[in-house]
Structure 1
Amino acid sequence: MVSLNSLVSAGGRSEAAAKDRRIAELEAENERLRRIRDALIVRVESGSTHKPAPYAAFEHSVILAEQVRERTEALNLAMDELKASHKALSQAREEDATSRQRLSDAIENIADGFVLFDSDHCLIQTNSRFRSYWEHAGAPVPEVGTHIDAIKALAVTSGLIVEEQRHEDAEGVLFLLSNGRWVQMTERLTREGGLVVLYSDITDVKNSEMARRIRALEESERWIRVVTDHVPALIAYVGADLRVQFCNKVYEAWYGRNGGSPLGKRLELVHSDELYQRLLPQILEVLDGHNVTFEFEEETEQGEPRYMLRSYVPNRDETGAVTGFFVLIRDITDRRKTAMALEQAYDDLEHRVRERTAALTGLNQKLRDEIAERSAVEARLREAKQEAEQANLSKTKFLAAVSHDLLQPLNAARLFTSALLEHSFGPKAEGLVRSVSSSLDDVENLLGTLVDISKLDAGVVTPDVTAFDLRDLLNNIAREFRQMASVEGLALHFVPSSMVVRSDSQLLARILRNFLTNAIRYTGQGRILLGCRRQRDHVLLQVWDTGPGIPADKLPEIFQEFKRIRPKGAQVDKGLGLGLAIVEKIARILGHDISVSSVEGKGSVFTVRVPIGETGHRQPASPRALAPAQDRSLFGVRVWVIDNDRAICEGMQTLLEGWGCEVITAVSVEDLAAQADIASTSVDLLLADYHLDEGANGVDAVAEINGQRAEPAPVLMITANYTNELKQHIRELGYLLMNKPVKPLKLRSVLHHVVRQ
């Protein structure tokens, strides 16, 4: 409001000055025209020594009269403008006076002290509230034109300002005036560079704040007293004048003898002369600024001796001077008695130890004999343990060797049955073939489970943890088990995901396959769901089913070996009860958490928790993750099979030729060279067994074959060796890898993948 009024006043003054200048100019012009008119009239009337002709004189007078008329009209217009300007100027002056009066009234009605300074910070205007501050203090009121610095200095020297406070969280500066009132000064700049200063009375706010602080201090003191009064120790504070300024009830009860309180008394009056003289050295030491802790023996009013542990702590002010000290006294009589009793007991114990030492000396020899005997027993136990570990290792090696030897004919049998399934022999024959295939599946599962359990128990399985995309793994597992679920009359639903996790892809796939196998086995009707959900930095891979559920008291047993839970309504399980046991062992090796929750009559959900990996370390797709391209034909695909087992060669040839492939089988590179020109014959895939005769292996064999060719052929390595070292070696060579026994569906997927590329 101050800036607007100042602007109006300045504008009015400027407009009035302009009008005054315009009036002066018009009056001067009017005066000049009058002089010209008078001179012309005089000249016409008086004539000259050379008088013109009458007509010329008349013509000249007419022209002169016309000019006078024009000038007169111009003068009249100027006079009208002058009158209008005078009227506008008068109106502006009235408005300016009204604005000034309104501004003065507004400033006067402000409840705060008001001061206005110009751009040079010299006083222009004040209100009565501001002037009353000075009048109450008996100081001269600052006059108009006084500089702000002089006003501030005068406020201090005159006694108007008693105290000044500055707070970071408060706007402006706080002053305590001589009349006992608190004001808050705030400054604001005007648009012309001037300064407006307001002095707001905040006495009520300060009083409220002070009252609140007093209440807080009183409340704090009350709580301190409540706490100290319930502490089983004597607490006091003694000032530098040795007067007791504070004490708790325990201190008051102890030293307030004869009903008197020690508060406000000097220590020489609180204690007896003898006790005070004994305490004086420690009192002087704490007043010198040192912490003092010492034991002291005193007597109660009844003359009973008590041992007291005294602590004196000095209290310092801002300058570091000691203004008093805190007193903490604890009764340690019982502790001293206990210490004395312990000392006596220690003496008695030493005496008894000496007596027992003599008796135990004779027993030492017996103990030595027993120790020697135990050492011999421990040696025999260590030997037995080594024998057991060796037997366990031998068992693992035996199972590995047996499994490899068994997988060879089992692989051949599976290839033959798969080839038979490609032909039509009638319902009865097809049923027999499917029964044989199912039996081979059972043998394969039992043998694989037995080998897996043995390897997991022996600790020879080490995970190959990498970061890989879940997309291919989940897609292939869903495709593999969707057909199995369909055969059982179940619907398998699958929620795909492309999240990246860190795990061993084959071991993680084994966990999910066991979950799905278990779900299909126990779900009589309904549906099964395979999917995953993110949980912060982990992924929960889950298998849901609508089976009969698992009783709550049986949930802790389902991951134990040879434990088969038969819920109500479930079919009889012909397995060994090792599937979920293998899941538990694999999860423990991988460091993944597994869990199960179930509701009887509604179903179960099995979960494995896998950490999320980084996208920059994705694992390349494995043969297990290759999707079969059902829209492509395998007719004419040329395949060379190298296996040292003739039965497997025949079975593989029968199976592949049933799909339309052109197959050449051989037991060695030499055998292959006798049947085809390795260097020039076209081939789409080299399918080789890793273990060949006479210590040879498939890696060296395919290397020798591709070494003779201008362009190397794709390689699929088949083996019963499940070690991570071999898997990593095959991956580094860029070959595809499948483990025995070969599943025809996966083999067909590999062929489609090779043809597609």
Structure 2
Amino acid sequence: MNEMQLSDENKRLKYDNAKLLKINEALMQRVEEGGNQSAPYAAFEHSVHLAEQVREKTQTLGETLSQLERRNRQLKTFQQRFTDAIESLSEAFVLLDCDGQIILQNSNFEAFLQTSNLPSETVLNLKALTEKKDHQKNTNNDGQLLKPVFQLSDGRWFQLNERPTVEGGRVLLYTDISALKKAETVRYEQAMAQKSVQLHSLVDNLSQGVVLLSSEKQIEVWNSRFVQLSQLATQQLHANIGLRDLQALTELELPTHPRLGSDFYVQTLQGGTVLEIRVHQLHDGKTIITYTDITERHRNQQSLQENERRLRLITDNVPAMIAYIGADLKFEFTNQVYIDWYGSTSRGLDITELDKSLNYKQIKPFVQRALKGESVIFESRELNRTGEPNYLLKSYVPNLDGNGVVLGFFVLIRNITERRINALALQKAHDQLERRVVERTSQLSSLNQKLLNEVEERRRVQTDLQAATREAEQANFSKTKFLAAVSHDLLQPLNAAQLFTSSIVEKTVDAQLAPLINSVSSSLDDLENLICTLVDISKLDAGVVKADKCNFKLSDLLDNLAREYQQQSGLYGVQLRYVSCDSLVHSDSFLLARILRNFLSNAFRYTDKGKVLLGCRRVDNKLCIEVWDNGAGIAQDQQTEIFKEFKRLKSSRSAFTNGLGLGLAIVDKISKVLEHPVKVSSTLGKGSLFSVTVPLADKTDLPQPAAQLNQALTKTELAGRTVWLVDNDFNICAAMKQLLETWDCTIITAASLADLQAQVDIGNDHANILIVDYHLDDGINGLDVAEQINHLRSTPLPVLMITANYNKSLQKEIKEHGLLLLHKPVRAIKLKTTMLYLLNKK
């Protein structure tokens, strides 16, 4: 802080002190002249309080003035030290103000001024010296020197070090490098001849096209790549033809000046080659033009931008704030909901800089826990952009690498203001009730009649409280049920993204893009599993999931599971052994399969190059389905913890590090729905046993065998087939169209029946398959649309119904109509298999 700033600070403090004195005087006068004669003591008390505040402000001002004097003395000391320091420098030092006038200099600079014959008040910078032709020659800066170098008329060379100051001035430091320059000149002249030959060979073998234009805009030098790109003959280039005439002989642009506002520009040739053209102006008036082939980079950039846009579309439409923060506490990703809430893109910002209304100290303990590898859920009170307080439920989930090192953590934030307000209102009502009970109880000894009235009032209030409690519980149940049913809206954009990714995989893609596309596809699969897992937990908590039990052969279920995991066993070095069982059981095959898949997945996850056994054991009139492994095992004190939400053991397999620890929690909830007991037995270091017990069914009550969908599917091709698609989601229509066109299908997409009728004659035009989304606009369902279309046709079309609704009553309704159903997100291979089945069946 300099003297001027200290003086301004002193004036400001004096002004504030005077203003406080005036305020005190005005308040005292107002109190003395006030018309409220009924409260003189209050007025006196108020004036005393104001006087105390003025005294405190005056004391603070005095302390500030004392501090200001100490800073003045320190400043003088620092100035003297600075003067001694610059005088000790061997270089010429000078400090200039914003107008170029000298503020401070050392004796070496005074000697430099006398040698250069420049007046002391001149602006001493590199530009001023180069303009003085009688004091210096050309600057020798070949692009490798980072600091300007110049030569005086007496032959001496100086190097200039220049740095701007905060006030707009500059600090200049001149170093004599005459001896260094002489040695450098000798080396330079010796190397020039050899470098000239090397440079010519280098330019001619560059992958870039290079051409040198003279100051008269004639081509002087070119390389073979330029000849190849321009398609000009070497004789034409040697003929000294004008640049304008040469331009007429080639489609390659031959600019003479850089484009305004850009270092380069891009030209696309007729053959599809994309070139980056740069124009470099030399000091002698000559021009160098370079042509770089960026065709592959241009295509890759377009593909990456499109993939990023699709992924951003998914996260921006999730009704929650989502972000990712690295281990350095800087934001690496935020979705649109997060940006809208905090009013900033936040990418690259530190978490402490994002929102000034949020005290970082409040969330610091939770951030530290997340960075230690712990999943954290907590509530936080923050102000929204309009200044209103809101309550947020925040979840921090750490991101661990294969070695267990925390790379960062995921942030999921939901607004629970309404729920918190309801809870506070309920607590307030409860507190009011308690106070009223205490007040009424104190009057029991003297007011018998009031006692009876108070008892009746208490009963009424308790009844209201119970009703309010039931309403709050019902509201919480409805909210949980809503989350369980919201999967339709979440899976719609995810379905479109997976279809787009599948269409990219179907096409021929450069080998360099294959890992990126596989990563995108894997990320979408992980996102689907995450959403489905969270929705399953919510549905189970809300009681939406009901068991649809029936009799079925257990071998049908276990054979499919064994085949599915037999394919994965080779990938993870696990040997799967399966003992078949033909028993008839009574259960829900879908929910039972969920339990067994979790058992097998856990066995694969925690068995490193070991063995897994799937089999059954009969116990009385029940059947115990067991999954054995000889993996790491589970400690005795953790065998109950693993069935809790977000609790999972550490696995050595990187393929399973992205789980949430919800698998066995779902198993526990499904087992309660099915009323099938689940047991676990494990020894640390030896292996584990997971089992579920199901009731046996009467063998006389056998179900009808299910139709096989995969018979003779490979005998039918999709090429040349015409498909009609009705879906009210534009992105899904676009993704489905792109995917089916890669299979050489002709596809007509429409958002409704009216839209389809506007494009085709639904009664007479040729088509092979009709694909319809169940939930359409204006309350119309896909079953009605399919029925209307086939009613107008002489030969009904095979119909494939798609939906994100997993409701069993809907599945039953579609099955009763004799239609096939696929759930979103739709897998490309499953879609293709189902379409082939429909065509073969027809």
When normalised by structure 1's length, the TM-score is 0.47
- Higher helix content, 1 or 2: 1
TM-score, normalising length from structure 2? Answer: 0.43
Q: Which has the higher contact order (CA 8 A, sep 6+)?
A: 1
- Structure (1 or 2) with the larger CA radius of gyration: 1
